[in-house]
């Protein structure tokens, strides 16, 4: 058994234990307004971090290329309150056109 499988099995056990322990938390802690606000923001923060890392890094090195322009166009579209489809399409087209150039 190599290191990869040890990590996969270990993380699976840790995730199972974490999820199982979640059922034993009393409801009064889960309905706390502060906890509810934090739980709402966690997916947003994780997605933002993932987009940031995928946009400006490649093979562990910082890189600035067409992806950053696509994100910039998406941010402008979001500020203009464009629909989700328009935001994604404009970002993808910008990245693709700059990549092609």
The string of pLDDT tens digits covering residues 13-45 is: 999 998 888 888 888 888 889 989 998 999 999
Q: How far apart are CA 92 and CA 69, in angstroms?
A: 10
- pLDDT(76) > 90: yes
* pTM exceeds cut of 0.95: no
- Domain extents for the chain? 64-101
Residue 56 has pLDDT above 90, yes or no: no
- Answer yes or no: are the C-beta atoms of 98 and 69 closer than 8 Å: yes
In angstroms, the first-to-last Cα distance of the chain is 47
For position 58, what pLDDT does the model report? 84
pLDDT digits (tens, 9 = 90+) for 59-73: 888 888 899 999 999
């Amino acid at each position: 058994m190599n290191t990869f499988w040890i990590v996969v099995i270990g993380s699976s056990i840790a995730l199972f234990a974490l999820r199982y322990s979640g059922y034993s938390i009393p409801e009064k802690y889960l309905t706390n307004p502060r906890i509810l606000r934090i739980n709402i923001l966690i997916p947003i923060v994780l997605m933002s971090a993932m987009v940031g890392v995928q946009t400006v890094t490649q093979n562990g090195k910082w890189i600035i290329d067409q992806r950053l322009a696509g994100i910039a166009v998406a941010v402008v579209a979001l500020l203009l309150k464009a629909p989700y489809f328009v935001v994604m399409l404009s970002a993808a087209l910008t990245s693709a056109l700059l990549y092609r150039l």
